[in-house]
Amino acid sequence: MTKLLKYLKPYIWPLLALVALTYGQASATLALPDYMAKIINQGIMGQNVGMIFHSGLTMILITIAGGLAMLGASYLSSRIGTGFARDLRNMVFAKIENFSLVEFNKFSTASLITRSTNDIQQIQQVTIMLCRIALLAPLMGILSTFKAYRLAPSMSWIMAVAVLALIAIVLVLFYIVMPQFTKLQKLVDKLNSVTREILTGLRVIRAFGKEEYEAQKFNKVNQDLTRIHLLVNRLMVVLQPAMMLIMNFMMIAIVWFSAHHIEAGNLQVGNMLAFLQYSMQAVSAFLVISIIFMNLPRAAVSAKRITEVLETESQIQDPVNPVKAPRRGGKVEFRNVTFTYPGAAEPVLHNISFIALPGETTAFVGSTGSGKSTIINLIPRFYDATNGQVLVDDIDVRAMKQKDLRERIGYVSQKAMLFSGTIKDNIIYGNPRASQEEILQAAATAQALEFIKELEQTFDSSIAQAGSNFSGGQKQRLAIARALAKNPELYLFDDSFSALDFKTDTALRHALKTEAKGKTVIIVTQRIATIMNADKIIVIDKGEIVGQGTHKSLLRTCKTYREIAASQLAPEELARF
pLDDT at 570 over 70: no
pLDDT at 224 over 80: yes
Confidence of residue 577 (pLDDT cuts 50, 70, 90): low
Output the pLDDT for position 334.
Answer: 92
Bridge partner residues of 332 (DSSP)? 356, 392
Helix (H) or strand (E) holding 415: none
Q: Find the length of the chain.
A: 577
In angstroms and rounded to an integer, the radius of gyration of the C-alpha atoms of the chain is 36
Quote the percentage of the chain above a pLDDT of 90: 0
Range from 239-253, 391-405, 465-479 that averages highest in pLDDT = 391-405
Output the pLDDT for position 2.
Answer: 61
**Crossing angle between the packed helical segments 472-485 and 436-445, to the nearest 10 degrees:** 130
* CATH ID of 2-311, from 3.30.465.10, 1.10.3720.10, 3.20.20.210, 1.20.1560.10: 1.20.1560.10
Between vectors from CA 49 to CA 48 and to CA 54, what angle results, nearest 5°?
A: 105
Between vectors from CA 43 to CA 37 and to CA 46, what angle results, nearest 5°?
A: 115
Widest pairwise Cα distance in the chain:
123
Instruction: Using DSSP, state whether 386 is helix, strand or coil.
Output: coil
Q: Do domains 2-311 and 327-408+489-550 have the same CATH topology?
A: no
- Higher-pLDDT residue of 270 and 536 is 536
Please give the single-letter amino acid code of residue 32.
Answer: L
- Each residue's pLDDT tens digit, 186-206: 787 788 778 878 877 777 787
Q: What single-letter DSSP state applies at residue 9?
A: G
- Each residue's pLDDT tens digit, 492-523: 888 887 777 778 877 877 887 777 788 888 88
Rounded to whole angstroms, the Cα distance separating 370 from 54 reads 91
Output the pLDDT for position 47.
Answer: 62
- The mean per-residue pLDDT over the stretch 124-152 comes to 80
Domain 417-487 sits in which CATH superfamily? P-loop containing nucleotide triphosphate hydrolases (3.40.50.300)
Fold of the CATH domain 327-408+489-550: Rossmann fold (3.40.50)
Three-state DSSP string of 40-61: HHHHHCCCCHHHHHHHHHHHHH
464: left (phi over 0), alpha (psi -120 to 50) or beta: beta
Residues 6 or more apart in contact with residue 225 via CB below 8 angstroms: 184, 187, 188, 191
Cα-Cα end-to-end distance for the chain: 69
Domain ranges of the chain: 2-311, 327-408+489-550, 417-487
